Amino acid sequence: MARKSRRELASAADAGELPVTVIDVARVAGVSPITVSRALHRPERVSEKTRERVLEVVKAMGYVPNLLAGSLALSKSRLVAIVLPTLANSIFAAVVQAIMERLTEAGYHSLLGATGYSPEKEEVLLEAILGRRPDGIVLTGTLHTEGSRARLASAGIPVVEAWDLSEHALDMQVGFSHEEVGRLVADFFHAKGYQRFSLITVDDPRGIRRGNGLIERLADHGIHEVPVEILPLPATWEVGREGLKRLLTRKNRPQLVFCSSDTVALGVLAEAAAQGLRVPQDIAVLGFGDTTDGRFAHPALSTISVNSAQMGRAVAEALLRRLAGGKGLERHDTGFSLIERAST
């Protein structure tokens, strides 16, 4: 069979006459098939000039790498699964972005999955993910079913629980204490003279734990009445508006509303404006997550920053150290900070 030129191979691929293989790419690029594989999957092992030549040929010929075959040969999938409560809330975006950017730099691909805040749905999702043999998994939080814990333990792959810290880690944890967030809010605003606090949260265990931390610390300050509105998921502006409407029907109007997310807090700001309330003179509003929308709201939203970019990088680095055969940090507290803006 006559050897096809690069142009002929590309034309044949475009016409669907034959599938382009790694051998075809290697022949046109003038390198070995293993060099093509390294250029695509382990770029640090080839020169930049070689990698550019291989990528040029891959693009021209429309070659699609067989990732499954490569992962079987290396006993690695180069895949990391990231499991989130939801893809709709921007509160998780900065963390995920930082994780994915660092993993991509290291030659890993990311697979995202959403649980809808349900440990049971997480278990079903993990079963499907583990069947694809990921090299590592990132979970949001520390609340899992016994079935999930058993599956992850038997899988024998690195697991990072992000966004939380607990005494019963699956493997590695990178995050912060939600109870400490609530205590910080109580101490900070009590010191400023606030006496009437309230909480609006969706039915999310982490948000409720922050609220519990607030209530417990306020009790230490002699404040024992803290109105709480817990509304159904997901976190939306509508939740914030409805929550404030309910709080305003109570006997004593709160001076400060602590919300489980910036998204909920933005709804509170909208409802306060609709009710003719001045923020912060009539009612102060505090969010959680330090989202871009909160920074540019009017008035600008006070919030809790959880150091999202730092957390995401720490998650990725913990995984990469373990995947390289090293020891990942078992517990990394990335902390948080209160950012006061015009809304308080």
Q: What average pLDDT does this structure show over 261-280?
A: 97
pLDDT for position 291: 93
Q: What average pLDDT does this structure show over 123-130?
A: 92
Q: Does position 22 have pLDDT exceeding 80, yes or no?
A: yes
CATH number of 178-305: 3.40.50.170, 3.40.50.11540, 3.60.21.10, 3.40.50.2300? 3.40.50.2300
Q: Does position 68 have pLDDT exceeding 60, yes or no?
A: no
Q: Please identify which residue in the block is written with the tokens 């038997």.
A: 154
pLDDT for position 8: 52
Domain ranges of the chain: 6-65, 77-176+308-334, 178-305
Helix (H) or strand (E) holding 185: helix 178-191
60 pLDDT tier (thresholds 50, 70, 90): confident
Q: Please identify which residue in the block is written with the tokens 């309330």.
A: 277
First to last CA, the chain: 77
CA distances from 317 to 80, 159, 339 (A): 13, 12, 27
Q: Does position 279 have pLDDT exceeding 80, yes or no?
A: yes
Sheet holding 331-333, edge to edge: 109-114, 79-84, 136-140, 159-162, 172-175, 331-333
Q: What average pLDDT does this structure show over 28-43?
A: 87
**Of 38-47, 109-118, 160-169, 173-182, the least confident:** 38-47
pLDDT for position 251: 87
pLDDT for position 154: 84
pLDDT for position 10: 52
Q: What average pLDDT does this structure show over 45-72?
A: 77
E runs forming strands in the chain:
79-84, 109-114, 136-140, 159-162, 172-175, 197-202, 228-231, 256-259, 284-286, 303-305, 331-333, 337-339
pLDDT for position 37: 84
CB-based contact 127:149 (threshold 8 Å): no
> CA nearest 88: which of 116, 109, 122?
116
Q: Does position 230 have pLDDT exceeding 80, yes or no?
A: yes
Q: Does position 18 have pLDDT exceeding 70, yes or no?
A: no
Residue 262 and residue 257: Cα distance in Å, rounded? 12
CATH number of 6-65: 1.10.260.40, 1.10.2020.10, 3.40.309.10, 3.40.50.1100? 1.10.260.40
pLDDT for position 241: 98
Three-state DSSP class for residue 79: strand
Across the chain, how many H-helices and E-strands are there?
14, 12
CB-based contact 135:121 (threshold 8 Å): no
Whether 77-176+308-334 and 178-305 share one fold: the answer is yes
- Between 188 and 18, name the one with better pLDDT: 188
Q: Does position 278 have pLDDT exceeding 50, yes or no?
A: yes
CATH for the stretch 77-176+308-334: 3.40.50.2300
Q: What average pLDDT does this structure show over 332-342?
A: 97
Q: What average pLDDT does this structure show over 107-132?
A: 93
How much is the pTM? 0.78
